[in-house]
Structure 1
């Protein structure tokens, strides 16, 4: 099943169903064990403030939402690209809240999403994408398989539960010009 990608910006009005689809996706990913800012179990009400903040940043032009849809219009995957406002860091962007619907995982959609994010970043004239991921999940191996390099690690910076601290891993994907 092929995915269709859309990059939502301050100039692109998302479909009315998108906020609810985002809440459902984020809830499902978290409850399936995804490391996307929460610890299960969660409800859409738990996620709503963060989702609204993300969508607000898109509406303000500080962030872009890369959304992947199935042929029937279902939100299958997302990634947010957040621009730096610091004048010395405007040449790269943060990639965050990278999610693939748990029911659709194992089909290569995560790698496809990251490839599209890379393409969009190049089109925006960026020199690199940077992300962080939670240690202990194997995520750094996945991102490395997509070309990201580990550039930093803060041991035990993420507390998912008492006695369960995880490393905060920083990864970078350089986007050399002319490729």
Structure 2
């Protein structure tokens, strides 16, 4: 799999759904130097009361290592005749004990745009793209201090798990799993 645009086994650069579009985060320098006004608050909101998680750092680290082929997307919507970024997502497709899995790394919507359903609408768009690339399940780690996120993922059909499919076997990419709850969706 190669991050980028197009089809034919490639992670799409633009994913479309109504009422939103997801566009690849391509310019990490621009993201660091002139981020959207809502991004700093959203980075903190992702983890609740824990220290924030910077989207640019998350994507920059991956672009250097190519681990899990992580990609990021802006959640964009039409507002007053203009398309604008209202949130962002980052995910990867990783091999697991039961095959390829979509692993969510980051999903946040700016405070002004929350409660309009944009985050919930973005999830199935990315899940469909991952399924086309062979992912059969999805996983996300929800910080213990973010109860709203726990409810968000439950509402989308994810269920909490403590371990992988076999007793004692960890889920893929469990970095600091004790700091949150792993949620899984068994079928995409």
- Give the TM-score band, short-chain normalised: 0.5 to 0.7
Structure 1 equivalent of residue 87 of structure 2: 77
Cα RMSD after superposing both structures: 3.8
| Gap change, CA 1:38 and 1:70, over 3 Å in 2 | farther
Structure 2 equivalent of residue 146 of structure 1: 156
In the TM superposition, residue 64 of structure 1 has moved relative to its aligned partner by 2.4
| Gap change, CA 1:23 and 1:112, over 3 Å in 2 | same
Please give the alpha-carbon distance, in whole angstroms, between the structure 2 residues aligned to 1:24 and 1:58: 29
The 8 Å contact of residues 21 and 77 in structure 2, kept in 1 or not, is answered as yes
Structure 1 equivalent of residue 15 of structure 2: none
Structure 1 unaligned residues grouped into runs of 5+: 159-167
In the TM superposition, residue 150 of structure 1 has moved relative to its aligned partner by 0.7
Structure 2 equivalent of residue 2 of structure 1: 19
Q: TM-score, normalised by structure 1?
A: 0.66
Does residue 117 in structure 1 map to residue 126 in structure 2? yes
In the TM superposition, residue 15 of structure 1 has moved relative to its aligned partner by 5.9
Q: Which runs of 4+ in 1 moved over 4 A?
A: 15-18, 20-25, 57-61
In the TM superposition, residue 135 of structure 1 has moved relative to its aligned partner by 1.7
2:115 to 106, 117, 123: 106
The 8 Å contact of residues 73 and 90 in structure 2, kept in 1 or not, is answered as yes
| Gap change, CA 1:58 and 1:14, over 3 Å in 2 | farther
The 8 Å contact of residues 95 and 101 in structure 2, kept in 1 or not, is answered as no
* Secondary structure of 2:178's aligned partner: strand
Q: How many residues align?
A: 155
